[in-house]
Structure formats: structure tokens, C-alpha cells
Amino acid sequence: MCQNAGMKKVYRRTTIIAATLALFACSQDSPPAAEPAANAAEDQIDLIIKGEYVVSMDGSASVYENGAVAVDDGLILAVGTADEIIAEYNAAETLSGENRIVMPGLINGHSHAAMTLLRGVADDLALMDWLNNYIFPAEVQFVDREFVRIGTELACWEMIRGGTTTFVDMYYFPDTVAEVVERCGMRAMVSATVIDQRSPDAENAADSINKGIAFIDRWKGENSRITPIFGPHANYTLNAEQLKAVRAAATEYGVGISIHMSESPFELQYSKDTFGMTSIEFYESIGFLDGPTIAAHVVWPTDVEIPILAERKVGVIHNPTSNMKIASGISPVAKMLQAGVRVGLGTDGAASNNDLDMWEEMRLAALLQKVDRMDPTVLSASTVLAMATSGGALATGLGETVGSIEAGKRADIIQVAFDDVHHVPTYDVISHLVYVSDEQDVASVVVDGKVLMREREMLTIDTERVAAEANALATKIQAALEERNQ
Ligand SMILES: [Zn+2]
């Protein structure tokens, strides 16, 4: 299949874009050797990933027909046609490209991973009712290290299975989140949550800031896949002084911040009543945007605020499913993109989604903008695919590291199977990735050059153990909830 040679946007490259790493190049430029260097064991690279199409998401949106990617030591060495890559490199392992599309791993810019264990515990409620009467009390009662370990592992299982390679998390016991990420092989920005109320891991804002500093001390520079950051919850759960203190600590420790921003009509009104201005104007007024910021949601930015987001290089994370389910509103994504704002995509927690499927987020992001603006051209498939990959990397501050398949970037790469009947016929690969593909189509997942899922076989997480642990804990939660509700 995929024999549509007349497909749009397909480039056939005759030269390999690579060569930044002459060390690994073939013997053509080297002194004559007894054997071709590519055959010598010491010149063997780790991995070649082949695909009928390689969708690079690089600056020129190159798509390589019958392409391949060479990977060694976690790094992308080269991308080109399969013939070129195979002629140049000898790999210990090759992932077959038959019926496979190769693309960058998906970046989930906003999640509360361990909330997978609260999936479906309270649905069909408004944000503040849902938070104050269900989620916060349930968290104080049930969330401990064990909850976070099991819930995060369950989330990582779901994300790897669905082709997500990086996620930005905001939850409690961030040490435990980071330990799970370290073991399962994903890439993550892990936030230490800061909130001014009794939470599962702190008493108040000051306590959570101190614990956050200890977390950042432990994890900064510890593992290149794990970036510790601060996660102040929102401006209705923290006051101006507390928010300024978090930014000061983030600046002092050289880390970024992830926060919920301009999410709901409630927040908009609260901000006007409390601070005398809208949410983003308030953050700007206290200097909170003076440093790397990932802002989840941004549903209600004003025309004055959108240029502030662009100027301050705030990474906005659009969460269409969560915004629709809680009826938070429709984020003006197309307008923000047009104004030069960096916009990525996220799932939010599984308690407000109720899954971690980035394919669904891509599709909904496109459809929601179209119907909101009554304009089908307003957000294209290729723009949405970028929001989930290269644009998401830029929004989260990882643009130099991941988000596209280019020599020199870390090898976070997935293979999507195109042999399911819902992909037949295939005229346009990009269209299919956004409007057809789902998480079940993801065949293999590579993060930092390591294969985490090979042909749907999960290699770093014991699926049966995680499911059993999650179900056992859910049984306890359900029993306690029933007792409380009696
Ligand atoms: Zn959230």
C-alpha cells in the first residue's frame, strides 16, 4: 500500500541530511581499509528505523518516501531514503518499514499523569464544583506515594502505547513521578506542584515551595530525559506574593514553570474581582512571565493579552477534550498562532478527559477551531500535527532537543502502522495522521534511542502487573467513596 507516488508534500532526497557526526560516517572519506568500516562491529550503530514515509516535521516539512532514520547513542545521526541510510550505516537493530509511517514522538504538554486512577470518578461537572467537591477531597484522602507510583506508571503505559514520548506533568510526590519516568524510559518535564491548601504532599504554599526546591535539587541534571520544574497550580489557589515567590525560586534554581492559566470563566471573573485585571495581564503585572513558562489551557486571553504571550514566549498548551468536557470554553488557538504564540497540545489529567490519547486531541483541536470560527481552513492538519510535535517542543522549551526528526536531535521517534482498513486508501499521509490515526495504530516507540515498544510489545512496563495494581487500588477507592457517600 501507500503507492501513491503523486502524493502531495513528498520529497525524495538524494543526499542524506546528516554528516554532523563524521565519526559515524562510512568509510568513503577515510583512508583505505581492509574492510568497509560500516561492517566493522565498532562502527555499528544502535538502530535504523525505516518507514514507507518518514514525516520529519523539520523546518521545511520534509517527508521522505521509503525513508529511514539512523540512530546511535540516543541521537539522530541521519535521515534520508532507506537506500542511502542502509548504504551508509550498519545497525545492531532495524525496525522494518513495511506499512509504517515514521514520525517524531508526540508531546503531551499538560498532564496530571497519576490521575489515571481517578478516571471516571466524577464526570459531567463544572470545573470549580469538580475540583472543590470531588477532586481535591479525593486527592487528600487517597493520594500517597503508592497512588502516584501506580497511577503514573499506568499513564506512562497508556502514553507509550499511544505514541507519546514526552509529557509535561503536574502532580504530587514529583520524586515518585520522576522515578517512574526514569524506569519506563519516557521523557518528561516533572513539576513540583505548589498550591496554598493542604494537599497530599504539603501543608500550604510555603511548604510546597520548600519541598519543590528539594525535588529540583535532587533531579536537576540527574537524568537528561527528566527536567524538573515548578508547577504553581493557578492564580485562584495561590496569591500574588506566593506566585512571585515561585518565580523567584524557579529563577534561582534555573528551571521553568508550568501553570494553569486563563482556563475558565470562573478564573476570568476571580482575577478581575481580586486583582482588578484579567488573568494574563495580572501575571505580566507581577513579573511572573519573566522566565520560561508553560501555560495550560489559555481559553480566555484578551486581544491585549495575546501579544503578551507572544512577546514573553509563553508556551500555551491547548487541551481541547478537557476544555470541552468541563465546558471551559474554546481557546482561540488559530488567533494565537497567527499572533506568533507558541502553541502545543495536551490531554490534561485522565479525570477530565478521560484518556491520554494525543491523536484525539489533534483531531478535536482541528475540528473545534473550524466550527468555532465557521471556517474549515482555519487550522490545517499539518498545523495540528506540528502542535503535537515540533510546535509542542517549542512551547515546552524542548525545541532544541526533540519534536522533529533531524540530525543532532535526540531520537524520540514512533512508527505508525498504516495497514488497518481505516487507512485504505492513503492519498495524504499528514491528513491520515490527524484525521484517521488513533493510538491503536502506533506500532513502535523509541525514546532517546531506546525502543520502549516494539510492534505493540511493551518492553519497559509490565502491563499485567500495572493493570492489576491499578485495579486493586481502584477497588479500595471505590469502597471508600461509597462509604463516604452513604
Ligand atoms: Zn490541568
For 280-299, letters b (16+ CB in 10 Å) and e give bbbbbeeebbebbbbbbbbb
Q: Which amino acid is at 323?
A: N
- Mean pLDDT (the chain, rounded): 91
Q: How confident is the model at residue 42 (pLDDT cuts 50, 70, 90)?
A: low
Q: Above pLDDT 70, what percent of the chain?
A: 91
Instruction: Give 106-396's CATH code, choosing from 3.30.479.30, 3.20.20.140, 3.30.2290.10, 3.10.180.10.
Output: 3.20.20.140
Q: Does the pLDDT value for residue 17 go beyond 50?
A: no
What is the predicted pLDDT for the residue at 15?
A: 32
Domain 22-105+405-455 -> CATH class:
mainly beta
Q: Does the pLDDT value for residue 63 go beyond 90?
A: yes
> How far apart are the CA of 352 and the centre of ligand 1, in A?
8
Q: Does the pLDDT value for residue 335 go beyond 80?
A: yes
Q: Where are the domains of the chain?
A: 22-105+405-455, 106-396
| Grid cell digits, residue 211 | 519541598
> How far apart are the CA of 29 and the centre of ligand 1, in A?
52
| Grid cell digits, residue 344 | 502545543
Distance separating alpha carbons of residues 25 and 18, to the nearest angstrom: 9
> How far apart are the CA of 428 and the centre of ligand 1, in A?
34
Distance separating alpha carbons of residues 413 and 421, to the nearest angstrom: 24
> How far apart are the CA of 457 and the centre of ligand 1, in A?
30
Q: Does the pLDDT value for residue 22 go beyond 60?
A: no
pLDDT tens per residue across span 358-382: 999 999 999 999 999 999 999 999 9
> How far apart are the CA of 373 and the centre of ligand 1, in A?
25
Q: Does the pLDDT value for residue 2 go beyond 60?
A: no
> How far apart are the CA of 233 and the centre of ligand 1, in A?
8
> How far apart are the CA of 39 and the centre of ligand 1, in A?
50
What is the predicted pLDDT for the residue at 345?
A: 98
Q: How confident is the model at residue 133 (pLDDT cuts 50, 70, 90)?
A: confident
Highest mean pLDDT among 19-23, 30-34, 123-127, 162-166: 162-166
Higher-confidence residue of 291 and 123: namely 291
Rg, C-alpha atoms of the chain: 23
Distance separating alpha carbons of residues 102 and 49, to the nearest angstrom: 8
471 sits in which H/E element: helix 463-484
For residue 316, which of 229, 367, 392, 251 has the smallest C-alpha distance?
A: 392
> How far apart are the CA of 221 and the centre of ligand 1, in A?
26
Q: What is the DSSP letter of 32?
A: P
> How far apart are the CA of 347 and the centre of ligand 1, in A?
8
pLDDT tens per residue across span 252-292: 999 999 999 999 999 999 999 999 999 999 999 999 999 99
> How far apart are the CA of 340 and the centre of ligand 1, in A?
23
Arithmetic mean of pLDDT, 70-95: 98
Bridge partner residues of 72 (DSSP)? 75
How buried is 270 (Cβ within 10 angstroms: 0-12 exposed, 13-18 middle, 19+ buried)? middle
